[in-house]
Amino acid sequence: MSRFLISASIALLFLAACNSAPNPEKGAVLAKAYGNYLSEADLEGVVPPGTSVNDSIMLVRNFIDNWLRKRILVRQAERNLTPSQTDFSKKLEDYRNSLIIYTYETELIRQKLDTVVTEREIERYYEDNKSNFELKYNIVKVVYTVLPSDSKELIRFRKLLKNRTILNLDSLNTLAQRHAIAYYLDEENWIKFDELLLQIPLVAYNQEVFLNNNRYVEFVDEPFVYLILFRDFMIRESLSPLEFEYANIRDIILNKRKLELLKEMHQEVYEKALRNNEIEVF
């Protein structure tokens, strides 16, 4: 929307010339509340380019109304709070200092943190901290396909999935792409059993008993038939496998590096300030 149309919209709302503007460079005064002024320049960004005149007037009116309401609430609060309750200078200073420190630390980490974590580092951390990697849920390695219950390819799928010794994933993938409604063929990665139950309507009242007694499961839930092969499973409270914790351990190592980097920086700048007599303790 052009500046002319924005100005026209404002003029329609506020016919008064508002010659008492405290800062003429900010344009016409649009509203006043308890000595605070809202000027035309304060509307920058309120009306997106291309907005119609009617919509522009509505946006401007709502902005001004909200501005006035906020000033009224502030004044009401000030009248009912003690001076100490409305003195935020200390909090604002602390907040500003925290923001400055956070911004600096973030930039330091971005520039200097070594983000390369080797497999050996991850394996060593896992071996040294096995007691921290107890499973909190059951996990499985699984492949499954979902077919129309009247699928003519059911026997072929069943034959491929029931061969637990040699699972021909290439053939299964080719067949699934052509005939399956849905499928999951990543037999190498662990997933939570609960996540699997969200994907398929499998009933397992006691997960541990179910997993101990089932390797291949097939059931019909019209209009689909589900074929599921459990390649492996681990029960909660057992040692979580390294593959399952890989990404978590990498994050732990990186976080430790961040903390060490920041600790070194804090100590370095402190010692430098002492050497340069920039700080004193009395």
Q: Reduced to 3 states, what is the DSSP secondary structure of residue 48?
A: coil
Which range, 35-44, 117-126, 273-282, has the best average confidence (pLDDT)?
117-126
For 161-182, the DSSP string reads HH--SS--HHHHHHHHHHH-SE
Higher pLDDT, 73 or 22: 73
Q: What is the pLDDT of residue 6?
A: 46
CB crowding 213-229: b at 16 or more within 10 Å, else e: eeeebeeeeeebbbbbb
CA 144 to chain centre: 30
State the average pLDDT for the chain.
88
Q: What is the pLDDT of residue 22?
A: 63
- Rg of the chain over Cα atoms, rounded to whole angstroms, equals 33
φ, ψ of residue 166 to 5 degrees: the values are -125, 100
Q: What is the pLDDT of residue 268?
A: 95
Q: Could you tell me if 148 and 154 are in contact, meaning their C-beta atoms sit under 8 angstroms apart?
A: no
pLDDT band at residue 96 under the 50/70/90 scheme: very high
Q: Token digits for 268?
A: 């370095």
Q: Token digits for 144?
A: 């499954």
221 bridge partner residues: 224
Q: Could you tell me if 105 and 269 are in contact, meaning their C-beta atoms sit under 8 angstroms apart?
A: no
- Percent of the chain beyond pLDDT 70? 91
Q: What is the pLDDT of residue 1?
A: 46
**Integer Cα distance of 16 and 58 in angstroms:** 19
Q: Could you tell me if 134 and 237 are in contact, meaning their C-beta atoms sit under 8 angstroms apart?
A: yes
Please name the residue that has the structure tokens 């920086």. 265
Q: Token digits for 179?
A: 């005939």
Q: Token digits for 203?
A: 């009933």
Encode pLDDT of 157-179 as tens digits: 998 888 766 778 888 999 999 99
pTM over 0.85: no
Total residue count of the chain as it appears in this document: 282
- Whether 38 has a pLDDT exceeding 80, the answer reads yes
Residue 51, H or E segment: none
Mutual angle of helices 119-128 and 242-275, in 10-degree steps: 100
- Percent of the chain beyond pLDDT 90? 66
**Integer Cα distance of 29 and 33 in angstroms:** 11
Residue 13, H or E segment: helix 3-13
**Integer Cα distance of 110 and 66 in angstroms:** 39
- Whether 14 has a pLDDT exceeding 80, the answer reads no
- Whether 261 has a pLDDT exceeding 90, the answer reads yes
**Integer Cα distance of 262 and 152 in angstroms:** 63
Q: What is the pLDDT of residue 164?
A: 65
